Structure 1
Amino acid sequence: MNRIQSIENNLTSINDAAFQELCDRLIYFKYKNPSAFARIGSVTGKQKTKKGTPDSFLLMSDGEYIFTEITTNISDKGKLLKDIIACFDYKKTNISSDKVKEINLFFNFNIDNAYIEKLKSVATSFNPKTEIIFWSLDLLTSELSTNHHDLVSDYLGLSYDTGQIVSIEKFISEYNRSSHGIATPLDNEFVQRRQEMDELKRKIAEKDFIIVTGAAGVGKTKLVLESIREFIQENKTYKSYCISYKYDSILNDIYQYVSDGDDYILFADDANRIDHFNQLIAYYQSKQFGKLKILITVRDYAYSDLYLNCPAELTEVIKLKKLSDNQLIDIVKGEPFGITNPNYQDVIIRISDGNPRLAIMLSRLAVEKQDISALSDVSNLFETYFNTFIKDLKELANPINIKSLGVISFFNAVNIKEKERLLTILKNFDIPYEVFLEAVQKLNSFEIVEISYDYVKISEQNLSTFFFYLAFIKNRQLSFDVLLTHYCNDYMNRFSDCIIPANNTFGSEKVMDAVQPDLKKYFDEISDDSEKSYKFLSVFWFYLRSETLEFLYNEINTYSKNGNVNTKKLRLEKKSTLSDEDPTLELLGKFFVGSPELKDAFELSFEYIEKCPVLTHALISKFKELINFEAKDQQSIFRRQGTLLETLIDKIEKGNGSYLHVFYGVAKLFLKFQFQYVSDYRNRTIRFHTYTIPLTEEIKTIRKSIWVTLDLHFLEDQDESFQVLKDYSEVGGDISKEILEYDLLFIFTIIDNHLKAELFEHCLYVQQLIRWLQRHNIQSSKFVHYRNSFVNPMYDLFTKIDMYSYEHREDYEFDDYDEFLRIKELSIRSTYIFKDQADMDSFHSMLSDIAIVRGPETIQLESLEFILEENFKKNYDNGFKFLELLAKRNERLWFIPTKSLKQILVTEENVYSIWELIEKISFRSKPFWKISFFTEIDSALIKNEHIGLILEIFTEIENLKFMSLDWVERYINLDYELYDKILAIVTERNREPNVKIGLQIRYFEKTFKMLSKNKSLIQEAYIQQVKIDPHFDYNKEGLFRIIETNASFLKDYFDYFYFSGDIEFTQTKADWGFIWEIEEIESVFSEIFKRIAEKNIFSGFSSHFLNNFFRNLEEDKKAKANEFLFELLKTNYNDIRIINLIVNIARYARREIYENILLLYITLNQDPDDFAKIWWRGNGGSYNGGDISGEIEANDWKGILSIIDKAEQNTNLIPIKKVIGDKIYSCLRFAKRERARLFLDR
């Protein structure tokens, strides 16, 4: 009879009194530290029951009750109903039903679900919030066998081994023996943890409880043992013992070995597995003399529970991280292993995943075989190792253990409390429920599985992979066909997580031989369903490559040629959950990694885009993503790239020109010298790689094919072909001179065959190519010929006006940059002195054409300034004509004369003629020419009549940001109201739709006094400018000047921007503390608070915008701001929305007054409902992946409670404390679920 059955049998025959004691101890263990605990149904001092309702209860810190009702009368199941009703009978309990939080029903038999629902319904009728826990025979058996071996021994007479306080040496011996080779021996050399050891020794001296936590296998136990050894050598008064836990009470053992008055260190390894951990705490608290240090190791997912049981002020937590890759390499290549082969180092590092235990295990096995250089397959090493410890541990080889591990590995974790679901799973694989639970207990004792939060999972991922492989593939003790039949639809991700690692670790052939027949059978059953087939084949394509290609062939042939209509596919895309990506291309892309059917996949891909051309770009992107050159391609002599190019060129040569577009995309990719790509790494992370291709014969063939094809088909699409050439010479990063020299002969051929000196863009390309090649120290006799022949008038013009070069030398090639600018300017001025209108027209036409080719933004307009100014100097009439030409044909170049006008506008005659020219021509930049005119005109020529012309400019401008009005200052003496008039016009214009005229803040700052008479105009203009550019008044100095004279403007400002939904405004962090310098701002600011509260748009998450007014304040401003918040609270303590704003400010910008705000509030308002609606700790939070948010939030509420406890004792605060207690309880329950999630996700 197995232990599970023994527990069940003993539970069914237990006497009433013993059963009641057992249940009371269980419930007390579940709810630690209640405010009160009473066993009403038990006779004090005797193991005897008596009548009472409830049988026992716990009073919790929040004032609510946990009831317990216990029965062993299987013949009267109706007693359960009577017990529930009695629990809500005030006459029997003297406790109001609304305070009954939970009722625990203990009974040593099972009931069906229908009766459970009936009982729950009855309880709900009394109090919908009361939770009913049904401790049936099944649940009790599971709980006792998993977590309470001591109770099994005490009450059911099923004893466990003892002898648990041992020396370090004996602990190591027992650990090594009990691990059966699975764990790393603790007598190995200790490496790579010197810094952590020194830290731990310091903490031992400082604290009495030290918790060392981390993932399985990171070296926690070894670190603690070595640290204890060194600490004792340095502190001779201490003795040390280890707890070798054997599921029995440890208190008597501790008293036997630990004498009062001496100094001791007790080490509890994997303390989360110790049922009697609280006995350690109790002993520590009872020890009168001498020092006692308790060191604990615990896995990362379980440390929080232990921490909460330790005295917080005496406890330190050390989180041990996985070793870095470099640290693991030091272990592998150091003594005693000496593994220096980097290929095998990489494999060991990948498999061990930062875990020194696994790194040492794998290294040790390799050395034991004395044949590491001959091991060609890591899967052999891995499998040999696991087979070794299965052979050593014969009990583990029991088929039921392997089958149980196989089931657990597939599901990642199994909830052993969800009996109905678990029964269904186990039934599918012919595993009896009780036998499975017994196996789990044994596997847990071997540390192969872990049990936590009612879940069991295999302790490490590579162990899980191995047992999946062993159970489903190698030994076939579990049916892969059954797995597919029942779980393929709902657990496809688990198939990926199990099959792919098994494939990579143990060899694809072994996996394929085992699973392929079942996969073929399953696919035959679903092949008529396209959606299921795509989903299925996306995981299993590698084992069904022929079937996958046939499926894709049939899918593609549902398209009509050159059409896009496929009703079957449209339906699929509508309901497909794969992604927005094309599922056919995604599945074809699986083959691009290098399968034997690579060419067939390429052929199908081309056939697909021929029938659905709209996906051509998607296919090119897929090639760029998956056919990039990688280091692994060199081992396969670049088969993937060569096959793609060969297939593509073959189609082009057969006359299908539509494939040229694909060719151009592939050519641009393949002609690079260096490639960046990413690869999957551990734990869903990626690695970035840079690969420089070598000039092998295969690379030469690939590049030659591209260049030759480009030459043959250049004329079929000259723009795309030419773009391939340009992209090649514009490549960034390192280049290979060797490859460049190889390519050059092909490039020269294309230049000779297809590029024309008559075309500016061809000349520009060839000349820039030469300079690019010379920068890379490439020389050729062709350069002189090309440099002389690839020139034309347009290119000559470009080189002469280009401000970045001079006579085939770039600006950076000159030692003296100022000298370069000087000679360049002289060259431009002397070269372009126009003789007549035709000369000008020719210049402008070529310059415009250059702008079309190069883009208007590339034209250096500074050159035009030199040319214009010089022509005015040489011949005013010619200069005037050229200026007229620039105005008339302004659209292409968008030229605005500046410096040149300064040299011209020095006489009355010139001023008159230039203004007349500007006025008579209609062109887009006309207002800006006018501004330039009034900016550059000689001061002596400024007249009163210019004022009206200046104002007219602002009626013509449509849109302009950051307009400088510094030039206007020249005209202020003629009209002191000019700034006012300009501002009035700009403000009026900005009211028009689609008009945005932006001014610089300097305009407001310089002219504030002049404009102060028209406050309403300034205020409207200011709001307009901030709307146009949120950074217009970045330091808020302009705003300060306005509200200094009119504080109420701050309300208008807020009304416009804060309530307009301007996200950038409300989310910007800025210092607005200047408002506290303004007299009587409090009443205005109070109104702003009320307006924000009325809008009710604050969620409570993160920092509210109002914090900007309270942060980074000087001391005098702090006092004023704090007083404002206190007064605002006093007058609005019943307005939850305003209080939430105040609390948010106290939590962020004014943290030092948070406690005072809280204490002041509870003196004004003790309504618990109001208190519960205030975000005292915020609404939610931002957490890192490993954080337990529920625990963090619970601690926040505990801190709030500690502040309230400082208030004068007032019974009116009890309801508020009840609210906080509920919050803490809720947060801790959520924390438990979070820890369970972290456990499952590890």
Structure 2
Amino acid sequence: MSRIDTIKQKILQLDGGAFQNLCNEYLTKKYFSDKDVTMTALGSQAGTSKTTKGTPDMYIVEHGKYIFVEYTTQQKSLAKKIEEDIKKCLDISITGIDCQYIKKIIYCHTSSNIEVKDDRHLHAICEEKGIELVLIGIDTLALDLAHECPAICRDVLNISIDTAQILDYETFIRNYNSNALAAPLDTEFISREEELTAIDDAFEKTNIVILSGAAGIGKTRLALRYIESHVQNSSRQVYCMRSCGVTILDDVKIYLDRPGEYFVYIDDANLITGLEHIVRYVTEEYKNYDLKILMTVRDYACQRVKDIISEIAPCNIIDVKPLTEDILMQFIEAQFPSLMTEAKQYAIQVSQSNTRILFFACKVLEQGTYKEITNVSQIYELYYGKYLRNELHEISPITIKVAGILAFLGKCRIEDIIRDEIVTTMVGVSAEKLEEEIRRLHRLEVINIFENSVITYADECFANYILKSVIFDHRTLNLKTLIKEFFYKQRYRVVESVNMLLQVFHSKDINEQIIAVIKSIWDEWGQSLSFEDFVQYIQSFARLNPTGVLQKANEVIKNTLPVICNQEQFDFKSNNTEYFAEDKHYEDMLNSLGEMAETQYAKMWSYVNI
């Protein structure tokens, strides 16, 4: 059965009140979501699915004119029923409204059997009074719900048309803010005028713009502000994408199913499953889409995302920098006016100009003295630790360990986790017990489980805190073991988790411990693995062990036969390594050496004879 037929069947099962509620949501979404209108439902009891007598069933006031809405689930003698209801709407003795003030009548019904002559007759009745008539039958309603309102299908009809990873602007913000622990997205926006102009300028050159920056710097807030100030009032249809761990391409085909003007925002693009397929699909010229894509990505994942996209379409990258102290002070004064000046200044100092951490710090400072906070790790501990103790006080050490593994691995499937002997061994439980612990975390609203399979954290920052806590505070998980066991299974995720620990907490002690672990594994694998395997590890963590990179490069050079060639054949300015490395593994090694250009060891580059 097609999804359209499924939607029709669900609609036909609705009683009169439920059908009215469905149509109210549908009409609001399709016709009035972006308009300044007043809507009043006369035909249903507030907060229920019960109908009440009234004409019209709903009315909308738009610019001083009325739009009347009528509904029916009647099947027999439908044309006669519609005509009777229309005439009631036109009767001033019933509505108290003269026809000159009625702009339109919308009539929603559940039939496909209105004959052409009846359709013409009904329209003629309204046209005689200078009023537009819109008839919406079950065919039109089902098509629109499938293609334009999947969320209504999911929420009202309990039909999963999509995976809920593509949302409109308002729903995206509402869903994000629904997590009580997350820093809200609807705080007052301050400054960033230069970045907003830069985004505008970038879109003049390309259709894809990437906002790159550290976690918590304000990338998502900036992107949403751009949509609000530069896109919302345009003719473009705006969609926001956020990954829940499953492929999103089918959703894209639902929402972008016809040529048109679109603006797509992709949050944390590096976490989107099949990003390259999405970009390729929406940029294919034959589709005649007028499409702009704005995406955010953490700085340490930017190059990988750029490499993916650049193979398909050109893109521009904008680096999002920290706000100045003066701007951060304006933010605090707008959001936390009751804080003492000294506390505000201290919050800025300890948060190291990170907007998200600044928000957490101010929330903590509202509850106590600023002298309790000396670093970012303590901000996280005071902000999330209280929640962990108060709300999750019954959580066991085993459950915390499972939460830590899930935080390290990121988005994953229950069936893969419980079948993984490494995970069950780390936790020290059976596969059945492991699944039970995962379900417990879901009931506690620590994690989300999508389609009864895909696991994601409800709050990414809380996941960061859990991971730091289990590895460095309570030491219930060993970072070295985690890296060794999962690096060659989930390389990019392991690197991302390590980068997060390095960048988010701004802790010298944590960073030193991580670097020591990386070097320890480096020494072990350098002796035991083949060069082809080991070079993947080198490329991933070159910046954390530049001396090790040089040592390995020296070893490779000594074991490589020299090649006599004419230097004039090389275009050194192009920075193209293919001249030097016929083998992909050697090219990776060269790229790792290139990484050193941004480290304190950059001057040593001139001594590498390659």
- Output the TM-score relative to the length of structure 1: 0.24
Give TM-score scaled by structure 2 length.
0.45
Q: Which has the higher helix share?
A: 1
Give the structure, 1 or 2, with the largest relative contact order (CA under 8 Å, sep 6 or more).
2
Greater strand share, 1 or 2?
Answer: 2
Computing the radius of gyration from Cα coordinates, the structure with the larger value is 1
